[in-house]
Amino acid sequence: MSATKTHMRREIEEIPEATARLLDGSAPVLTEAGRGIRERDPHFIVTVARGSSDHAATFMKYAVELTAGLAVASVGPSIASIYGAKLRLAGSACLAISQSGKSPDIVAMAQAARDGGALTVAITNTADSPLARASDYAIDILAGPERSVAATKTFVNSAVAGLALMAHSTGDDKLLAALARLPEHFRKAIACDWMALAGALETPRSLFILGRGPSTAFAYEAALKFKETCGMHAEAYSAAEVMHGPLALVGPGFPVLALAARDASEPSVAEAADALAGKGAAVFVTSDKAKRALPLPHVATGHPLTDPLTLIVSFYGFVEAFARHRGLDPDLPPNLRKVTETV
């Protein structure tokens, strides 16, 4: 590969600026949509998304359930597009996330949710998209063009937009202040060097990625990125679940990446990382609380809901570099293209 930066690397480096642009440029619609949710006072939330966007929705599930006291459920897009089922969603809010805003199944489910009585909010990188037109509120994440097949800045901005929406709807000034500080935290996160992982990944055919609470969503996202950019199998688990059935696969040298955020779950993630290291696994963890697992550099944000976001930014920098280390082009993964429009 040439010394020219990949699209993926350039887009990772654009994350701080893209986040600042979102928080500034989409502030009016985030405020308006937050007010709309507050006035609707929903009994529950549903999300509609696929792929990386669904990982952003999973992050929002934890964030909403932890802070707003509302249950959040993911609705399969095929419920509307393939099966034509109608859901009774009166008294709910629906959050639909899609970078392109064009996938027919996502659009169909968002429209069905609106028809079923839900207040619908679209989070998309395409302002005048079918999804935006099918929703009561459309939040443009303002990430700018993303040429790499692997989503990075659009994923981060989708998650940030969801947090900002929730902060406006609940009047959470502390979270809004934490979000405003994210661009600077992201600059530091990009500079974190995780290449210590590379040696443990040279020969294994698979690895585990762990999280707990909100960081579980980023474990899913990281596992997907390993498959997309490195041609390597990775499986994401809760740090609690991995100690059951999946433990049977762990042996000497088995690689494990544990994404621990500075929240109430950090001690349990560190404990699980140490337990796996005790079985001979090659375990790396973003925490200083572990005694046997190897610590990775991380950026603490001072807020438990923004803290996991810096971890995925540091991971993106690593996985792009690791793909090139393996002689692969992360911009051209086999069999994949940028926009997938699922019916």
**Of 159, 130, 121, which Cα lies nearest the Cα of 143?**
159
Burial, 227: exposed, middle or buried (Cβ in 10 Å; 0-12, 13-18, 19+)?
A: middle
- 134, 146, 156 from 151: Cα distances, Å: 23, 7, 9
Contact yes or no for 53/98 (Cβ under 8 A)? yes
Contact yes or no for 52/155 (Cβ under 8 A)? yes
For 134, other C-beta atoms within 10 Å of its C-beta total: 22
**Of 113, 103, 138, 104, which Cα lies nearest the Cα of 46?**
113
Q: Crossing angle, helix 153-170 and helix 15-25, to 10 degrees?
A: 30
pLDDT at position 2 is 47
Contact yes or no for 186/20 (Cβ under 8 A)? no
Same topology for domains 7-171 and 190-326, yes or no?
Answer: yes
- Secondary structure letter of residue 91 according to DSSP: T
145 CB-near residues (< 8 Å, 6+ apart): none
pTM of the model: 0.95
**Of 93, 89, 96, which Cα lies nearest the Cα of 130?**
96
Compute the distance between CA of residue 159 and CA of residue 214 in angstroms, rounded to an integer. Answer: 11
Q: How many residues does the chain have?
A: 343
* Domain extent listing, the chain: 7-171, 190-326
Q: Which amino acid is at 254?
A: F
> What is the SS3 assignment for 252?
coil
pLDDT at position 336 is 52
Fold of 7-171: Rossmann fold (3.40.50)
Contact yes or no for 111/96 (Cβ under 8 A)? no
- Secondary structure letter of residue 125 according to DSSP: S
Q: pLDDT tens digits for 1-40?
A: 446 899 999 999 999 999 999 999 999 999 999 999 999 9
Compute CA 195 distance to the chain's CA centroid, rounded to the nearest angstrom. Answer: 21
pLDDT at position 342 is 60
Q: What phi and psi values does residue 102 have, to the nearest 5 degrees?
A: -115, -15
Dihedral sign computed on CA atoms, order 23, 25, 26, 28: positive
Q: pLDDT tens digits for 280-301?
A: 999 999 999 999 999 999 999 9
CATH 3.40.50.880 for domain 190-326: no
Compute the distance between CA of residue 206 and CA of residue 228 in angstroms, rounded to an integer. Answer: 13
pLDDT at position 341 is 57
For 280, other C-beta atoms within 10 Å of its C-beta total: 12
CA angle 342, 230, 143 (to 5 degrees): 55
Q: At 147, list the tokens.
A: 């040429």
Compute the distance between CA of residue 304 and CA of residue 315 in angstroms, rounded to an integer. Answer: 18
Mean pLDDT by 10 residues, the chain (343 residues): 81 98 98 97 97 97 95 94 92 96 94 96 95 97 94 97 97 98 98 96 91 97 96 93 77 94 97 95 97 98 98 98 94 65 58
pLDDT at position 246 is 78
H or E segment at 231?
none
